């Protein structure tokens, strides 16, 4: 995979693939192409010492099938087949309360993958972080990661994990703190704007433009690690707050297409 910039847009762009697209929605059969491909992405050129994704999932989805799952009962098979997404708890107990998880249900419906419809709260400094390939982070106000949290997040992203970040209510103090932490962790991987021609914006939904609640358009940003986008970030709001119970983010901005974009981002993270 190669990402490159142009003089017109210095952000990330992915060259068009010569391989035919499988298209969505995909079969809901756990032995479908989607079922086999997505979890196996964890095995490709990864350090087995840093990822704890269930190996039984890989066995089941790479062709062995549920019937050959040995002594696993139905509940264990169901657990093994489920993709879960982390919601980080970090710093002095900060976490997201207004990042809507509705896109998880939408992604499951559109792709046929078994995806837990709710986020799982995970401490950034814990080993539980490595049980999931996809993590969201949000919040408000300034913060600093602990040394253990920095070490864990850097290891997670280097190992193939994916981070989706966006401040609550476009909070400027959170935005400054987050950018400073990522810059300190990855000084050689600057945050860059991502071109709308990137495959992320057409994987499931075709999203030609990102429009803002306040008017105008925007681009999301990201960092590249080992030839893949490992983090996507925007200070304008991918939180889809209108679908988060008890949240309005009335003083902040929002990307109107956030739910569709988040579905695409999740699929990109699983495929790369």
pLDDT digit string, tens, across residues 98-130: 899 999 999 999 998 899 999 999 999 999 999
Structure confidence at residue 150 (pLDDT): 97
How far apart are the C-alpha atoms of 228 and 61, rounded to whole Å? Answer: 23
Q: Are 85 and 131 in contact (CB under 8 A)?
A: no
- CATH number for the domain spanning 152: value is 3.40.50.12140
Q: How many structural domains does the chain have?
A: 1
- The answer for residues whose C-beta is within 8 angstroms of residue 133's C-beta and 6 or more apart is 41, 42, 53, 83, 160, 161, 162, 269, 270
Domain-located, residue 205: yes
Domain residue limits at 119: 84-271
Domain-located, residue 1: no
Digit-coded pLDDT (tens) for 145-166 = 999 999 999 999 999 999 999 9
Structure confidence at residue 39 (pLDDT): 42
Percent of the chain residues past pLDDT 90, beyond the cut: 55
Domain-located, residue 34: no
Domain-located, residue 250: yes
User: Residue 210: helix, strand or coil by DSSP?
Assistant: strand
**Residue 63: pLDDT band by 50, 70, 90 thresholds?**
very low
Domain-located, residue 35: no
Q: Are 182 and 223 in contact (CB under 8 A)?
A: yes
Domain-located, residue 76: no
pTM of the entire predicted model: 0.78
Structure confidence at residue 179 (pLDDT): 98
- The answer for residues whose C-beta is within 8 angstroms of residue 93's C-beta and 6 or more apart is none
Domain-located, residue 194: yes
Structure confidence at residue 138 (pLDDT): 94
How far apart are the C-alpha atoms of 77 and 80, rounded to whole Å? Answer: 5
- Examine the pLDDT at 232 and tell me if it is beyond 90: yes
Domain-located, residue 61: no
């Amino acid at each position: 995979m190669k990402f490159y910039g142009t003089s017109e847009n210095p952000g990330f762009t992915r060259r068009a693939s010569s391989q035919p697209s499988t298209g969505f929605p995909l079969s809901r059969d756990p032995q479908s192409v989607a079922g086999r491909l997505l979890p196996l992405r964890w095995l490709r050129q990864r350090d087995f010492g840093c990822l704890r994704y269930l190996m039984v999932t890989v066995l089941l989805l790479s062709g062995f099938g549920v019937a050959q799952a040995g002594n696993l009962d139905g509940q264990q098979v169901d657990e093994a087949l489920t993709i879960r997404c982390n919601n980080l708890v970090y710093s002095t107990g900060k976490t997201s309360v207004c990042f809507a998880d509705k896109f998880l249900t939408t992604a499951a419906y559109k792709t046929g993958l078994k995806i837990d419809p709710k986020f799982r709260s995970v401490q950034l400094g814990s080993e539980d972080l490595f049980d999931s390939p996809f993590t969201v982070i949000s919040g408000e106000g300034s913060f600093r990661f602990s040394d253990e949290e920095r070490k864990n997040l850097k290891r997670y992203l280097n190992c193939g994990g994916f981070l989706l970040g966006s401040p609550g209510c476009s909070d400027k103090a959170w935005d400054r703190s987050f950018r400073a932490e990522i810059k300190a962790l990855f000084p050689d991987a600057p945050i860059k704007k991502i071109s709308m021609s990137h495959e992320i914006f057409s994987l499931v939904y075709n999203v030609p433009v990102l429009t803002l609640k306040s008017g105008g358009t925007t681009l999301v940003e990201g960092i590249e690690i080992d030839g893949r986008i490992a983090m996507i970030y925007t200070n304008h709001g991918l939180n889809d707050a209108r679908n988060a119970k008890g949240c309005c983010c009335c003083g902040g901005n929002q990307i109107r297409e956030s739910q569709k974009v988040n579905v695409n981002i999740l699929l990109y993270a699983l495929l790369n």
